[in-house]
Chain A
């Protein structure tokens, strides 16, 4: 079992829907990252958070340290949000990044 688990693996939704992607982890962390990977490969950092909640445009990331769980929300989803969303945690013990397998999101017009 991977130390970072994402759910769902795949998600297809209609334009305008509210999207939630989940990330659970089993190690002590100093920070959690959400990243986006578009078809074509490049990965872009969306959020780095260690507590609470962060918002950027239509994207919201939350983390619950006690429950070792984070969620990424997308409001008013749009086809251009279609991408793979990746959760990664930085281990508190060795500062290594531990990666989730990603959630493939498709937003249909």
Chain B
């Protein structure tokens, strides 16, 4: 257990659905991150929040919409996704340089 939880762990959704991924950390960290991990590819940083403010958006399509209501919670809202968006979505948090990862949400878009 790293202190970072993610729900759901698995999600199957159609291309017209709207769903949300949730991440929660109880470590008192100020920064939270969303990553996408596709098979045999390096992790792709999607979004970074620092003290609830978005500090990074790595050219992520608008069908992914992050929300950070407070420094302990992070959401990723999904709508009209494409099959190529199927991947493992990882949340992480940090205070300094070391990031703590959640277990990820395995997303399948049909």
Counting contact residues on chain A (CB < 8 A from B), the size range is 20 to 34
Residues of A within 8 A of B40 (CB): 9, 101-102
Complex Cα gap A96–B99 (Å): 12
Residues of B within 8 A of A42 (CB): 2, 101-104
Question: Could you tell me the distance in whole angstroms from the C-beta of A3 to the nearest C-beta in chain B?
Answer: 9
- Decide if B42 touches A101 in the complex (CB within 8 Å): yes
Complex Cα gap A40–B2 (Å): 14
Does B88 sit within 8 A of A, measured CB to CB?
Answer: yes
Segment at the B interface, from A43-51, A53-61, A64-72: A43-51
Does A2 sit within 8 A of B, measured CB to CB?
Answer: yes
Question: Could you tell me the distance in whole angstroms from the C-beta of B1 to the nearest C-beta in chain A?
Answer: 9
Question: Could you tell me the distance in whole angstroms from the C-beta of B48 to the nearest C-beta in chain A?
Answer: 10
Complex Cα gap A43–B101 (Å): 6
Does A73 sit within 8 A of B, measured CB to CB?
Answer: no
CB-CB contacts below 8 Å: B10-51 with A:
40-43, 45
Does A63 sit within 8 A of B, measured CB to CB?
Answer: no
Complex Cα gap A58–B99 (Å): 23
Complex Cα gap A44–B100 (Å): 7
Does B98 sit within 8 A of A, measured CB to CB?
Answer: yes
Chain A residues with a Cβ under 8 A of chain B: 2, 4, 9, 31, 33, 40-45, 48, 86, 88, 90, 96-102
